[in-house]
Amino acid sequence: MSALTRITAPDGVAPAAQYSHVVLGTGRFVAVSGQIALDEDGKVVGEGDPAAQARQVFENLRRCLAAAGAGFDDVIKLTYFVTDVAHLPAIREARAAYIPDDRLPASSAVQVAALVRPEFLLEVEAFAVIGA
């Protein structure tokens, strides 16, 4: 279990519904580059399907975190880049398979005009802190 503290409702700030406003931790910082819906062979997963792409993205994040000796319990911040904010419910559903509601990191979501290739609907980057 990670030694992180999550604050969803700081004094004077509206409570967070799908994220934590603040996450505190001590240890080593891990930055995971934005992950897109490519499988291990570099093939696009779920072209046109935000739910399938989100599942692949979170699996890629899991693998990247594991390579650093981290897991989703260590994640302090997720940033979502989406081509359409209508994809957010599918992303939240995929996230729920990896991160329980009581362990939500700080988060930002940004709608972008496009990602690196037109078939990608979302990209997610992660920051984690491991080891106390």
What pTM, to 2 d.p., does this model score? 0.87
Q: In the structure encoding, which two tokens stand for residue 94, read together?
A: 């995929």
What domains appear along the chain, each with residue ranges and CATH number?
A: 15-130 (3.30.1330.40)
Residue 119's pLDDT is 97
Place of tokens 């969803």: 8
- pLDDT band per the 50, 70, 90 thresholds, residue 1: very low
